Amino acid sequence: MIKDKSWTKTFKNAFNGCAYAFRTQRNFKVHLILSLLVLFFSWFFKITRGEFLFLLAAIIFGLVIEMANTAFEKTVDLVTEDFNPKAKIAKDISAGMMLVAAIGLTILAIFIFAPHIL
């Protein structure tokens, strides 16, 4: 089988992945909603361009990590759907990766928005 390497197919596959994450992953939806709130508050508080770019990069990072977590979990599911302690560890580490990112991103947002709120 010859792999289709066209740009159109590449982007279609990427958009399908984004759509799958949005349709099926509750935490991805939550992250998107929180991201929209961050963007609104960025506008509302008239944060600096540098702060905005930093928050934008953080939003992208969070969404990417959320999607990577989903990809890791689905890959583990390909290997086994039965309970396997090693599969559980892989999934737990993947979820932990997202938790660490979420905590870090929340701290970042607090540091940026606190001076504007206070």
pLDDT tens, the chain, 118 aa long: 566 678 889 999 999 999 999 999 999 999 999 999 999 999 999 999 999 999 999 999 999 999 999 999 999 999 988 899 999 999 999 999 999 999 999 999 999 999 999 8
Separation CA 115–CA 111 (nearest Å): 7
Separation CA 55–CA 50 (nearest Å): 9
- How far is Cα of residue 35 from the mean position of the Cα atoms in its chain? 10
Separation CA 63–CA 17 (nearest Å): 12
Domain ranges of the chain: 26-117
Type of residue at 77: D
CATH no. for 26-117: 1.10.287.3610
**Quick one: tokens of 92?**
């737990």
What pLDDT does 64 receive? 96
**pTM across the whole model:** 0.86
What pLDDT does 7 receive? 87
- How far is Cα of residue 69 from the mean position of the Cα atoms in its chain? 8
Q: CA angle at residue 29 from 27 to 30, to 5 degrees?
A: 60
